Structure 1
Amino acid sequence: MAVPKRKMSRSNTRSRRAQWKTTAPHLVPCSNRACRQPKPQHVACPSCGQYDGRQVVAPA
């Protein structure tokens, strides 16, 4: 297994971590025609509780 020979300096560590970026979650409209609220893909709708056309959780 590869092991670093020397400790990475603080400036090198911070410049490497400066490239970490967050992205906004991709939201799609709910497939329920009565709801159409934005929700994450492949997740049950938090407002109506439906996923793929069927009720999977109790609506909030």
Structure 2
Amino acid sequence: MAVPKKKKSHRKQAQRRAHWKLTAPTLVECPRCRSMKRPHHVCPTCGHYDGRQVLKVAGAGTE
């Protein structure tokens, strides 16, 4: 099994981990109810996708 001969410096360790970061999820506005939703997903507020009702959402009135 390969074992490092020398200890990695703090700088090298930080450079290796430089891309470990969180990214905010992409959100778009629902064209029907104007709430924010993930692109290419059913709107959790009104239950519509691609101009048609695909989920029956409790509390969502007919607009």
TM over 0.5: yes
Structure 1: 4+ residue segments shifted above 4 A: 9-12
Q: Which sections of structure 1, spanning at least 5 residues, go unmatched?
A: none
Q: Report the RMSD for the aligned CA atoms in angstroms.
A: 2.6
Worse overlay, 49-58 or 17-26: 17-26
TM-score when scaled to structure 1?
0.67
Number of paired residues? Answer: 54
1:12-31 matched pairs, under 5 angstroms:
15=14, 16-31=16-31
User: How far is 1:18 from its partner?
Assistant: 4.8
Which sections of structure 2, spanning at least 5 residues, go unmatched? 59-63
When the two structures are superposed, what TM-score results if normalisation uses the length of structure 2?
0.65
* Letter of the structure 2 residue corresponding to residue 20 of structure 1: W
The structural deviation recorded for 1:6 is: 1.8
Report what 2:37 is aligned to.
39
Distance 2:25 2:19 in 1: 19
More contact order relative to length (CA 8 Å, sep ≥ 6): 1
Alpha-carbon distance in 2 for matches of 1:6, 1:19: 25
Task: Check the 8 A contact 1:30/1:37 in 2, yes or no.
Answer: yes
